[in-house]
Each structure stands twice: as structure tokens, then as C-alpha cells.
């Protein structure tokens, strides 16, 4: 499985759809709430718009440090130049999420 769609309950009890995919640059899965990005609905050749940026906040400040920033277009991760890993500036097709990674199951 290269792209997983899950419906999960948030802290407020509302069910939301999340999409998961493996990031070879970070070495773990990324996920985003589908309602906050435009997803083309394809699990085989997914596109998310706009770009996705994962960041951390510097302790005690409002400053952000980008960890991973990319576009996901037609099943290819297009890494932006501000990524902190060695795949910045490269295009990489989606890879299999390891079977034992622990992507959650849908909430009932």
C-alpha cells in the first residue's frame, strides 16, 4: 500500500478523513487531513494541493523550522528546496508503506 485513506475521530469527536503515505526523505509516514488539502480522490495516482510543509516550532518562539516541504502530484513526491533531508529538489514516486508501520485502522 502506497497511499492509505482513513476515517478517524478527532479530539472533538468529529470523524475526519486522513491520507497517509511514506516519505523516504524523512523515513516515516506523513499524514494530512484530507479536508484541509484538495485531494484528487485517487489512491493510485494521488495529488494534494497546495504543497504540504511539515515544520517544528523553535522552543520559546514563534519561529518555524521546515523539516519537509513537497508537492504530491500524480503519485510523485516533488520535494522543495527547503527540506532538511537529502531528497530536497528531487522527484520520487510514492513508495510502499511498511506493512508493520502501524497506520491506524478506520474508526467505526
Torsion angle in degrees (nearest 10) through CA of 59, 89, 78, 34: 10
pLDDT of residue 108: 67
- Mean pLDDT, 10 residues at a time, over the chain (108 residues)? 94 93 97 93 96 92 93 98 96 96 88
Report how far residue 53's alpha carbon sits from residue 97's, in angstroms, rounded to the nearest whole number.
20
Report the pLDDT value the prediction gives residue 87, as an integer from 0 to 100: 98
CA atoms within 13 A on the CB side of 7: 4
Amino acid at each position: 500500500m502506497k497511499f492509505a485513506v482513513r476515517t478517524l475521530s478527532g479530539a472533538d469527536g468529529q470523524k475526519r478523513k486522513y491520507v497517509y503515505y511514506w516519505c523516504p526523505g524523512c523515513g516515516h509516514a506523513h499524514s494530512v487531513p484530507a479536508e484541509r488539502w484538495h485531494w484528487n480522490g485517487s489512491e493510485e495516482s494521488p495529488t494534494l494541493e497546495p504543497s504540504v510543509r511539515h515544520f517544528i516550532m523553535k522552543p520559546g518562539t514563534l519561529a518555524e523550522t521546515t523539516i519537509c516541504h513537497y508537492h504530491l502530484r500524480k503519485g510523485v513526491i516533488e520535494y522543495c528546496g527547503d527540506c532538511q533531508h537529502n531528497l530536497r529538489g528531487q522527484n520520487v514516486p510514492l513508495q510502499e508503506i511498511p506493512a508493520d508501520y502501524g497506520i491506524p485502522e478506520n474508526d467505526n
